Amino acid sequence: MSAVMSCGRGVDKRLVLADTLMWTNPDSSLAILEKIDSKSLKGKENQAYYALLLTQAQFRCNIPLTSDTLISKAVEYYSDNHNREHYTRSLLYKGGAYEDMGNPVEAIKCYKQAADNADSTDYRNLAQINFRMGMLYFNSYASNNLDLNKFKMAAHYYEKLNDKIMLMQSLYYCANVLRITDNNEARKCYDKALSTARELKDTTNIYSININYALMYLEDSLCSQAKRYILDAYRLNNRFEENNNYYMMSLIYANQKDIDSAKYFISLPDKSQNTAYDSLLMYKALKEIALCENNLSEYRNFSYQYNSISNFLEHNETKYKLHDLEQEFDKSTKSEASISLGKKKRIISFLIGLLLLVSIVFLLLYLKKKKDAKRMLAELKRENFSHYEQLGNSINDFDSELSEAMGAKLEVFEEIMTGAYNPQQDYKSNVIAHRMTPIDDKDTKFWNGLFAYLNYKHDGIMDKVSSQFPQLTVPDLNFIALMCCDFSSAAIAVCKGYRNIDSVRSRRMKIRDKMGIEGTLTKYIATLKTAN
């Protein structure tokens, strides 16, 4: 009925019928449209309506859109608000075309235009716009919980529409985002989505929800709960659809010290079909198996493979700053840029004053930097080198290659610290400290070796931190590794090339807040080491 009411009297009845079936039966809608010879349609309105419906039907039937030419005709026709709902829909599916074509930036622009144009009671289009934007943010690894906000809005509109299938999908993705930061809320969303999937007897989504439920528990090292949900998924088909699920199962059994079962599940998938993420989970399971068997050689090899893939994924994921683009779009639609001659003169005067101010600031920063460096080295001089000497010996017993790399750093510490005890000798500590090149976070060979050493020394401590706090970045984990080696704040500052000790303390607090732990990060790491 709504399709008929939204169109003029001259609209082709076949198009109206196709629109009526679009949401409930898109295959039938597409079949009707494919039988229509577009050249036989009379008038620009019918041509635009046909372009919109055919693009929408293809998108709804999961037929990849390879061009925006067709839908652009509809956008152009409806842009003068011949029909507000159709213009909103045209922008929405033009965004879908760009998304299929691998252009998320243009897709976001179209989705934002569609959202701005939509009527507040147009629940269907608003639901679709928010869901598509949520998927775009989710798949593009955008930050700031933008995906979560969009999925929540989509769920809100789908609930108003009583569309249980899409409500389930929206809740499912809400849970996938929340499981990283808020397990309680994630469980609520998973439970509601799972309940709806069972009501609809949708085994595909029951399977997917159980798998992701298991993954959430596995990330928290709660293997018994993870095992329950992944087995529920396995029983649906007596097999897993993805390789990574077999590796999850293997990892669960390895954590429970059931080595035979762990080896059985890891042997089942065709490893030539592994994605990078599959291989990451595979090496994680193999590491755990090697650790259970006390096979140090294999453990080190698998740790190296795991860390290499992990670093590859960290540095190569497509991370579009789509939220910045969205904000820029909002600004551009509200204001126009125009600078008069008077404004230009004021800007020139302002820039001259700013230049003077910057010069003064740079001078003050230079003096502060010298003072901070002196304070940092003075604190390092007060330390005793014996702890670092023991660390060096322990690393040497573990891996001579890592020992050589770490030894170069420790020699600088020794020269500064031992020089402090000889008042007759003029040790130029600042010069000595600058001889040491800071350890770059991209030096994966060094960090992989250090992670393997700490995992072996403290019962998988770095793997546990990485697994329990997936929100931590590679630089965060590298910082924690130095803390696990009992490096002081001054030592970490020198190793990381920080300007002062306050930077180290600030970094500790930021990592602690990101992890959401009680007390200090130092105490938390000490507790982990004591537990091991």
Segment 189-210, tens digit of pLDDT: 999 999 999 999 998 888 888 8
Do 463 and 251 meet the contact criterion of CB atoms below 8 Å apart? no
Q: What pLDDT was estimated at residue 137?
A: 83
Burial (CB count <10 Å: 0-12, 13-18, 19+), residue 418: middle
**Do the domain assignments include residue 198?**
no
For the chain, give the percent of residues with pLDDT over 90.
28
Q: How far apart are CA 314 and CA 199, in angstroms?
A: 39
In-domain check, residue 318 = no
Judge whether 283 and 302 are in contact, CB under 8 Å: yes
Provide CB contacts within 8 A for 299, sequence distance 6+: 287, 290, 291, 452, 455, 456
Q: Are 101 and 124 in contact (CB under 8 A)?
A: no
Asked whether residue 392 is domain-assigned, the answer is yes
pLDDT reported for residue 328: 60
Among the listed ranges 34-43, 74-83, 413-422, which one has the minimum average pLDDT value?
413-422
Tell me, yes or no, whether 498 lies in a domain. Answer: yes
Q: Assign 316 a pLDDT band (cuts: 50, 70, 90).
A: very low
Segments in 399-520 forming alpha helices (H): 400-419, 429-435, 444-457, 461-468, 474-484, 489-496, 501-515
Is the residue at 414 inside a domain?
yes
Range of the domain at 488: 378-531
| Residue at 480 is within a domain | yes
pLDDT for position 82: 72
Dig out the tokens for 256 from the structure: 């429970």
Question: Predicted confidence band at 161 (pLDDT cuts at 50, 70, 90)?
Answer: very high
pLDDT score recorded for residue 259: 92
| Structure confidence by residue, pLDDT tens digits, 456-485 | 888 888 998 888 888 889 989 999 999 998
Mean pLDDT for all residues in the chain? 81
How does pLDDT run across 75-103, given as a tens digit for each residue? 999 998 678 999 999 999 999 999 899 88
Residue 386 lies in a domain: yes
**Residue 121 falls within a domain, yes or no?**
no
Question: At 147, which amino acid appears?
Answer: D
Q: How many domains, in total, are found in the chain?
A: 1
